[in-house]
Amino acid sequence: MKKRFVKRFSGTMTKFAEDELNKYLDANPSYRIMCMTYANHSALYSGIIVYFEEIE
């Protein structure tokens, strides 16, 4: 069975959530994105919720 999990990436005033996601993918090339959605938690900050699956 493949390893699957959900992770949330948060943005701030000085960094984008997409940048944090890209850093995570670069550091963990054995995982791929199965599904993702944006989550706004205020007018200035946004986040991404990503469902990962391990590549065999």
1-56 confidence digits (pLDDT tens): 679 999 999 877 788 888 999 999 999 999 999 999 988 766 667 789 999 999 98
CA distance 31 to 47: 19
Residue 33's nearest CA partner among 2, 55, 10, 1 is 55
- Cβ-Cβ contacts under 8 Å for 28 (sequence gap 6 or more): none
Domains of the chain, residue spans: 4-54
Residue 14's pLDDT is 82
Tokens standing for residue 50: 């990503």
Residue 5's pLDDT is 94
Residue 1's pLDDT is 63
Is the Cα dihedral 7, 13, 14, 18 positive or negative?
Answer: positive
Q: For residue 55, how far is the Cα from the chain centroid?
A: 16
Residue 42's pLDDT is 67
